[in-house]
Amino acid sequence: MFKNIKKLVWAYDAEWVPDPKAGRLLYKLDEETPDAQVMERMWQEGGADENNPQPYLKTVMCRLVSIAAIQRQVNKDGWPSLRLLSMPRETTGPETEEKTIVGKFLKAMGERQPQMVGYNSIAADMRILVQRGIIHGLSMPAFCRRPNKPWEGVDYFAKGSDFNIDLKDVATPGWGQGSPSLNEMATLSGIPGKMEMDGESVPPMWLEGRLDRIIAYNETDAVTTFLVWLRMAHFGGHLSTSQYESEQELVRELLKSEAEKNGKNHLLDYLTEWDRLQKATS
């Protein structure tokens, strides 16, 4: 179980696809080879078969296309407030470049120093951020700065760091085949997991230019990660039952507000599914 809750928390999720540029370089493919063919070759080299046509590739070979987070910040009055953060904000233009997404996110982490919360994030989300940041030649000294001793400051690289929490590791110390997926952990807890999309849907959507749908999917995964974190925080005694219930209401208010003000109607669908699962698991 994680030891504490910091005043600033980012429960985050990232989405990525096989990077066609990486595939062309590593497998010496012609520059004119279509992205879809390059990605198929990458999956083949990664061990694709009839049962698993899209095997998990090394994150260093993938291109990050979206990051979303629920920000929980404790205000001066001691009460928390929530925000939905997601990148890119636009679906075309410079903001969609991976270097821009990774650079802005890591720079903000280094400056604001949030407690990062993810699911399978140490092995995946945080790993791709670091690897792709290095590949793009970024300089992120604030994010990379490490204290001499773990308790003397923020450290995103230390094993068991209070600032880099992986909920999968919390749920199943030691990992292995018995580790639940985010979808399993969430759904059985009455929280929406995978709805209309899953991770395998992201590459086809990217090839079709449907970045809007990927961002929407990414945002719902970030909400799910936050709700699972809330449940674990309640389990660990960091939140009382009344606090846990009130913070779930804050999430509901956030989803409604984002739908009303920013047209994120997929969050209303999320609310509907959340209500259904709450009844099914009560």
Query: Residue 175 has what pLDDT?
Result: 58
Q: What is the pLDDT of residues 183-222, one digit of tens each?
A: 999 999 999 998 877 888 999 999 999 999 999 999 999 9
CA dihedral (2, 178, 244, 154) in degrees, to 10, reads 20
Cis omega (within 30 of 0) for bond into 88:
yes
Q: Kindly give the pairing relationship between strand 164-166 and strand 115-118.
A: parallel
- The answer to pTM > 0.85 is yes
Which parts of the chain register pLDDT below 70?
174-176
**CB-based burial, 39-56: b 16+ in 10 Å, e otherwise:** bbbbbeeeebeeeeebee
SS3 assignment for the chain = CCCCCCCEEEEEEEEEEECHHHHHHHCCCCCCCCHHHHHHHHHHHCCCCCCCCCCCCCHHHEEEEEEEEEEEEECCCCCEEEEEEEECCCCCCHHHCHHHHHHHHHHHHHHHCCEEEECCHHHHHHHHHHHHHHHCCCCCHHHHCCCCCHHHCCCCCCCCCCCEEEHHHHHCCCCCCCCCCHHHHHHCCCCCCCCCCCHHHHHHHHHCCCHHHHHHHHHHHHHHHHHHHHHHHHHCCCCCHHHHHHHHHHHHHHHHHHHHHHCCCHHHHHHHHHHHHHHHHC
Give pLDDT, residue 174.
63
Question: pLDDT (tens digit, 9 = 90+) per residue, 110-134?
Answer: 999 999 999 999 999 999 999 999 9
Q: d(Cα 128, Cα 136) in Å, to the nearest integer?
A: 12
Q: Are 164 and 123 in contact (CB under 8 A)?
A: no
156-160 own/partner pairs: CB under 8 Å, 24+ apart:
156/109, 156/116, 156/126
Would you state the pLDDT for residue 150?
73
